[in-house]
Amino acid sequence: MQFDPLSDAFVRIYNAEQAGHYEVSVSPASKLLERMLLIMQSSGYVGEFQRISDGRGDAFRVELIGAINRCGVIKPRYSVKRTDFDKWESRFLPARDFGLLIVSTNQGVMNHHDAKKERVGGRLLAYIF
């Protein structure tokens, strides 16, 4: 029984990456997970991915490129002001300007660098480095 599909997806991606697999199937698929995979792809952490329709919630087949050292979701989903990103960056990431925090804002899901540029706050969803 899945209580947090986003956490399950990140755990599956991390475990497959550590086992040396070249691809992993993540289910169930959602718009939020798709947006997070797009952010990870544009930042160079995963390769191509595609949505697979199986009639039971769908799935994503994600190509792994061996760039993920650690990833996970942030629970509880802390609310972050636009001025406090440095504090959360030092808490969840190993070094300054190394890795990403994925944030849900009122302008959509984005990484914390884009949120700083847009000068918006939001809720922390995940980290990856």
Provide the residue ranges of all domains of the chain, joining segments of one domain with +.
5-64, 74-128
Question: Given this structure, which CATH class describes domain 5-64?
Answer: alpha beta
74-128 CATH = 3.30.1490.10
How far is it, in rounded angstroms, from Cα 86 to Cα 106? 20
pLDDT in tens, 17-74: 999 999 999 999 999 999 999 999 999 999 999 999 988 889 999 999 999 999 999 9
pLDDT tens profile 77-114? 999 998 999 999 999 999 888 999 999 999 999 999 99
Classify burial at 8, counting beta carbons within 10 Å of its beta carbon; exposed 0-12, middle 13-18, buried 19 or more.
middle
